[in-house]
Structure formats: C-alpha cells, structure tokens
C-alpha cells in the first residue's frame, strides 16, 4: 500500500481533472447531464482509480486499477474530441488537454508494466 498523492501520474491526472471541470463549466447547460457529466466522470475516474489501487494490497490489485484508469483516459480522449468537434472546447484547450492526456497514458502504461512484474 502506498500514498497515491506521491505518484507523479496521480498529481498530473488530478491537475487535469481540475482543468476539465473548469473547461466543462463553459459547456452548454443542455449538456449538464450529457457530455459535461460524462467528461467530468471519465476525467475524475483516472486519479480516483489510481488512488483506489494504491489503497489495495498487492501489486496485482494496483495494476488492475491502473488499467481501469487507462480505460478512463481513453474514454476522456474521445469526450474531449467530441467536445472540440461540437465547438464546446476551444482548439487551444483541446490541444493542451490532449497533450497532457497522452503523457498521463504513457505514465500509466509504464507504471502498470512495472507493477505487473513484481
């Protein structure tokens, strides 16, 4: 069991989630229970699953939750693309979030590989 707040991937995904909440607050009100909610949930699921995995015993459990985080990251990747294509998200925000998400996915992959070996 380890403190998730010490993991760089958790810090980056938490920061990304905060920015997603700020960006989605500008989405149309009609999307509150649609794309806004889905985007926020998929973003928050990334650091939440990292935290849950760290609270479990053994690397097998941590690895499983890191893989769930990866799935949420891929889901978020689609949600931001859709938001951008619907003109809800400016290109500058989309590019920034997309770059950060790619980095987080790389970090999740690396950490998952390391934890699955031990």
pTM: 0.95
Domains and CATH numbers, the chain: 4-117 (1.20.1440.60)
- Give the pLDDT score at 1: 60
Mind listing the pLDDT tens digit for each residue in 24-55? 999 999 999 999 999 999 999 999 999 999 99
- Give the pLDDT score at 2: 80
Helical residues (DSSP H) of the chain, grouped into ranges: 8-24, 37-55, 59-85, 91-117
Residues in the chain: 118
Tell me which residue has tokens 């990304």.
16
Q: What is the mean pLDDT of residues 11-33?
A: 98
Q: What is the mean pLDDT of residues 10-37?
A: 98
Report whether pLDDT(117) > 90.
Answer: no
- Give the pLDDT score at 118: 64
Query: Are residues 23 and 89 in contact, defined by beta-carbon separation less than 8 angstroms?
Result: yes
C-beta atoms surrounding 55 within 10 Å: 14
Mind listing the pLDDT tens digit for each residue in 58-100? 889 999 999 999 999 999 999 999 999 999 999 999 999 999 9
């Amino acid at each position: 069991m380890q403190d998730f707040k010490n993991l760089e991937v958790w810090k980056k995904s938490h920061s990304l989630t905060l920015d997603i909440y700020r960006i989605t607050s500008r989405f149309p009100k009609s999307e509150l229970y649609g794309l806004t909610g889905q985007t926020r949930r998929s973003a928050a699921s990334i650091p939440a699953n990292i935290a849950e995995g760290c609270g479990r015993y053994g690397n097998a459990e941590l690895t499983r939750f890191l893989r769930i985080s990866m799935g949420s990251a891929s889901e978020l990747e689609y949600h931001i693309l859709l938001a951008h294509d619907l003109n809800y998200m400016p290109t500058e925000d989309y590019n920034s979030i997309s770059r950060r998400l790619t980095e987080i996915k790389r970090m999740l992959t690396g950490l998952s590989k390391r934890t699955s070996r031990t």
